[in-house]
Amino acid sequence: MNQTRDTARTAMAWQQAAACIGADPEWFFSPDPIETAAARSLCSSCPVKAECLAHAEGTPESAGVWGGVDLDERRRIARRRKATAVVR
30 assigned binding-site residue: no
46 assigned binding-site residue: yes
pLDDT at 51 (0 to 100): 94
20 assigned binding-site residue: yes
- Taking the alpha carbons at both ends of the chain, their separation in whole angstroms is 41
DSSP string covering 56-80 = HHHTT--SS-BTTB-HHHHHHHHHH
38 assigned binding-site residue: no
19-71 pLDDT, tens digit per residue, is 999 999 999 999 999 999 999 999 999 999 999 999 998 888 889 999 999 99
Which pTM value belongs to this model?
A: 0.78
The answer to whether residues 71 and 62 touch, using CB atoms and an 8 Å cutoff, is: yes
Q: Is 7 helix (H, G, I), strand (E, B) or coil?
A: helix
How many other CB atoms are there within 10 angstroms of residue 18's CB atom?
18
In the chain, the amino acid numbered 15 is Q
Banded pLDDT at 1 (limits 50, 70, 90): very low
